[in-house]
Amino acid sequence: MKQTKLVRLFSILLALTMIFALAACTNTNTTTEESTTAAAETTTAAPKGTIRLATTTSVNDSGLLPYLLPTFEAETGWKVEVASAGTGVAIGYAQAGDADLLLVHSKDQEEQFIADGYASTDRQSFMYNFFVLVGPKEDHAGAKGSGTATEAFKKIADAKQPFCSRGDNSGTHNKEMKIWSAAAPVLKLDPAWYISVGSGMGDTLTKANEMVAYCLTDKATYLSMKDKLPNLEILVSESDDMKNTYSLIGVSPDAPAFAGKNVTINTEGANALMEWLQGDEASALIEKYGIEEYGEQLFQLM
């Protein structure tokens, strides 16, 4: 009888041991599967190489590129090297073979770049925002409420109020020059009130704030810096002569100017970035950019 009880007890202990072992095995397998799934979710694409993007300061200073590019890089494996300058300088990088792709905003300069045989694509306009005229809250020139930038510029010139210009052959500077030409064709920009900074948008806005001067800027850069510009506010915005269009242009490895030179253009990478920036995912990100922080979308899609 005792032997029977011992056999039964041994059988129960053996069964419990097998149950615990099976449970441990199942838990291990589940943990392994979860770890594998988590690893798969965080895996990025294998590295492919570097794309050299020459672009205007506004898309960089506004924070748009730092917001977009990490997603592109993680998904594709391409690394984007950004050279941010005025449009004239950015195009100069491409003309020297030091860029694979342009993202700029000066139509006349872009069309000349294409006409000179440097482009591998046409001018692909895909987003826009508006230039705005910012200036001192006191607005001694009475520019606020003007129907157009041309009208506001004429008031500033007539009042000889301080105006801070980028002066760097950028898209913003070229737009400013067109407005001045329309406002006062025979006007001489007097250094007594007209200050040419020769710098990027962020630096120009900082100097305009210090000088309590008027300034033409893209709206996105102004809003991204607004908290650091207590002396400035938007006086004229979204008038017909203030639209600011951004375009992509690929650089051709077969440009006549590159003949006989050691120039290598990453056409594959440039095409991949152009396609992504104009695709659904980037469009959704662009549409959201600025809403949470600034209360409005900073860049509109074409």
Res 10: pLDDT = 43
Contact 161, 235 (CB under 8 A): no
pLDDT digits (tens, 9 = 90+) for 81-99: 999 998 999 999 999 999 9
User: To 10 degrees, the CA torsion angle through 47, 49, 52, 57?
Assistant: 10
- Among the listed ranges 5-9, 99-103, 143-147, 229-233, which one has the minimum average pLDDT value? 5-9
Contact 168, 86 (CB under 8 A): yes
Q: What is the DSSP string of 175-202?
A: HHHHHHHHH-TT----TTTEEE--S-HH
Res 187: pLDDT = 65
Residue owning tokens 């938007």: 234
Q: Which residue has the higher pLDDT, 19 or 50?
A: 50
pLDDT digits (tens, 9 = 90+) for 85-137: 989 999 999 999 999 999 999 999 999 999 999 999 999 999 999 999 999 99
pLDDT digits (tens, 9 = 90+) for 65-81: 999 999 999 999 999 99
Distance CA 112, CA 174 (A): 14
Average pLDDT, integer, range 137-164: 94
Longest Cα–Cα distance of the chain, Å, equals 122
Q: What tokens does 100 get?
A: 């694979």
- Among the listed ranges 47-56, 102-111, 177-186, 288-297, which one has the minimum average pLDDT value? 177-186
Closest CA to 152 of 127, 135, 175: 135
Return the H-helix or E-strand segment holding 76.
helix 64-76
Does the pLDDT at position 7 exceed 70? no
pLDDT bucket at 60, cuts 50 / 70 / 90: confident
Q: Could you give the domains of the chain? A: 49-128+245-301 (3.40.190.10), 129-242 (3.40.190.10)
Q: What tokens does 28 get?
A: 């291990």
Distance CA 129, CA 107 (A): 14
The length of the chain in residues reads 302
Q: What tokens does 41 get?
A: 């979710």
Does the pLDDT at position 221 exceed 60? yes
Contact 53, 272 (CB under 8 A): no
Average pLDDT, integer, range 270-299: 95
Return the H-helix or E-strand segment holding 91.
helix 87-95
- Which DSSP category does 162 fall into? -
Instruction: Give the three-state DSSP class for 108.
Output: helix
**Across the chain, how many H-helices and E-strands are there?**
12, 10
Which is it for strands 163-165 and 243-250: parallel, antiparallel or unpaired? unpaired
Distance CA 74, CA 241 (A): 39
Closest CA to 91 of 169, 173, 204: 169
Return the sign of the alpha-carbon dihedral for residues 279, 284, 286, 287: positive
What does pLDDT average to over the chain? 86
Q: How many other C-beta atoms lie within 10 A of the C-beta of residue 79?
A: 15
Contact 184, 157 (CB under 8 A): yes
